[in-house]
Amino acid sequence: MRKEERLAKEIIEQLGGADNIMDVASCMTRLRVRPADPSKVDIAAIKKIDGVLGLVEQETLQIILGPGIVTKVANEVSEITGKTAKLVDEEDGNSFEGLADRTKADLKQKNATPFKLFLRRIASIFIPLIPAIVASGLIAGITNVVVRSGADPESTIIQFLNLIGWGIFGYLGVFVGINTAREFGGSPALGGAAGILLINPGLANITLFGEALVPGRGGLIGVMLAAAFIAILEKRIRKFIPSSLDIIITPTLSLLITGIATLFVLQPVGGFISDLITKGLLSLLDIGGILAGLVLAGTFLPLVVTGLHQGLTPVHMELINTIGDDPLLPILAMGGAGQVGAAFAIYFKTKNERLKKVIKGGLPVGILGIGEPLIFGVTLPLGRPFLTACLGAAVGGAFQAFFKIATIAIGVSGIPLAFLVKDNQILLYLIGLLIAYVFGFLFTWLFGFKEEMAKGI
């Protein structure tokens, strides 16, 4: 029997059978299911299944299996249950249709607070764009390395690669506008049009109050404000327009009013918020230096566990959009590196074969920047190793902050992030990564793990 087939059957059995599964979905590392009767689910038994790296109980039951295998298991579960396995773009977003209409009891769950739901809404605007941004950033980054190595920057192949690599960043506002309008229940095309209002080069030809407008002013924050505004406005206008005229009048009025509101209000407000975020963060890193890097890296993984890290996605994007690079991401990437170092220490120290097996499954993807299997399957359940991993991350973050390492795009952390780091800083980033590994290992080896901690794993 294939591994994914075995996993699917064992998981379904402990979920209470195929009839107890209402929905199935998968993301990068997790199999997500919504049981009809939660009382039939044996949580402890699921955790003990060979191949299950961890389990998170949120709005849906999220079984951590790791990248690659999770999609195959989801397909097997889909075949057995007859439920279509949906593919989710983000790690913590809504997996199933109708989740927004949950009962009040569901909304009172710990992980469904209004603030966290707001962060998820913001994250859902940006996270679907990450594959294109990562791909473009990698191509652009590798091209820069090739040019620095002596290639002719005017050659056709380099020009072609630059066209592919940097293309999306010139039109990012359109994509953000589309996703924002969709998220707020409006027409995606109108959201894209709202995004164009802020990046259109024609803005430079318009003068208001004695000052020429600046294309891009307000950044992605301004785009989100304009796109959310047009989505809400569209729904309000539609209530008063006859159905026969809706297709003509509703979008026209929505775009016209949004255009005026954007130029006079939303763009300036977006610019103020954008400046506040970027200048505030850059000042923090400049003034705080090593201490700022230490604190940011050391406290990042607790944010990941609570889901609050989703609110940082637009911050990364705004930094890249505004100043051309992101000095925050390399610092926060050390969080995962500390986990890797801690996992190595536990692996060499423990005699628990099941724990060793979980670590062996989580380490490769952890090194490649996907830390959830190690967090939820190893360090967090053990307790103290999670803290020592954060300490190791803090040392690596201090190093990244001291040398002002920055990326040209966002993507997964770990070794792959090196391709997104500014080309003259790649070696320094990798040294910082190694430092986080080493200190995560040392802190955990010296006082983070004792064998008795593994008894409940």
pLDDT, tens digit, 9 for 90 and up, residues 17-51? 888 888 888 877 788 888 888 888 888 888 888 88
Give the sheet arrangement for strand 21-26, strand by strand. Answer: 54-57, 61-64, 30-35, 21-26, 85-87
Are 296 and 269 part of one and the same domain?
no
DSSP 291: H
pLDDT, mean of residues 281-294: 90
Confidence of residue 344 (pLDDT cuts 50, 70, 90): very high
Burial of 446-457, coded b for 16+ CB within 10 Å and e otherwise, reads eebbeeebbeeb
Is residue 440 assigned to a domain? yes
pLDDT, tens digit, 9 for 90 and up, residues 107-141? 345 455 666 667 677 777 877 887 787 788 788 87
Q: Which has the closest alpha carbon to 5: 85, 81, 77?
A: 77
How many Å separate Cα 421 from the centre of its chain?
18
Phi–psi pair at 251, nearest 5 degrees: -65, -35
Is residue 382 assigned to a domain? yes
Q: Which has the closest alpha carbon to 197: 166, 167, 230, 236?
A: 230
- What is the C-alpha separation between 92 and 113, in angstroms, rounded? 13
Which of 16-25, 227-236, 441-450 is predicted least confidently?
16-25
- DSSP string across 108-138: TSGGG-HHHHHHHHHHHHHGGGHHHHHHHHH
Q: Of the residues 66, 88, 110, which one is the last residue of a structural domain?
A: 88
Is residue 194 assigned to a domain? yes
Integer-rounded Cα radius of gyration of the chain:
24
Q: Of the residues 212, 243, 278, which one is the last residue of a structural domain?
A: 278
Are 258 and 397 part of one and the same domain?
no
Are 296 and 410 part of one and the same domain?
yes
At 310 the pLDDT is 65
pLDDT, tens digit, 9 for 90 and up, residues 186-228? 999 999 999 999 888 888 888 877 777 777 788 888 899 999 9
Is residue 120 assigned to a domain? no
pLDDT, tens digit, 9 for 90 and up, residues 254-273? 999 999 999 888 888 888 88
Other C-beta atoms closer than 10 Å to the C-beta of 374 total: 31
At 101 the pLDDT is 39
Are 261 and 304 part of one and the same domain?
no
Range of the domain at 34: 1-88
Which amino acid is present at 252?
Answer: T
Are 298 and 265 part of one and the same domain?
no
Are 79 and 190 part of one and the same domain?
no
Q: Of the residues 88, 119, 138, which one is the last residue of a structural domain?
A: 88
Are 307 and 236 part of one and the same domain?
no
Domain count, the chain: 3
- Specify whether 27 is catalytic: yes
Are 236 and 326 part of one and the same domain?
no
List the catalytic residue out of 7, 12, 27, 374: 27
pLDDT, mean of residues 52-65: 80
Measure the CA angle with vertex 219, ends 279 and 88; round to 5°: 105
Residue 74: which CATH number? 3.30.1360.60
Are 356 and 442 part of one and the same domain?
yes
Q: Which residue is associated with the tokens 């800083």?
A: 425
Phi–psi pair at 22, nearest 5 degrees: -90, -40
Task: Please give the span between the terminal C-alpha atoms of the chain, in angstroms, as a whole number.
Answer: 26
Residue 80 corresponds to which tokens in the numbers above?
């057995």
pLDDT, tens digit, 9 for 90 and up, residues 406-422? 998 777 788 888 888 88
Are 83 and 212 part of one and the same domain?
no
Are 324 and 423 part of one and the same domain?
yes
At 179 the pLDDT is 92
Confidence of residue 96 (pLDDT cuts 50, 70, 90): very low
Are 354 and 319 part of one and the same domain?
yes
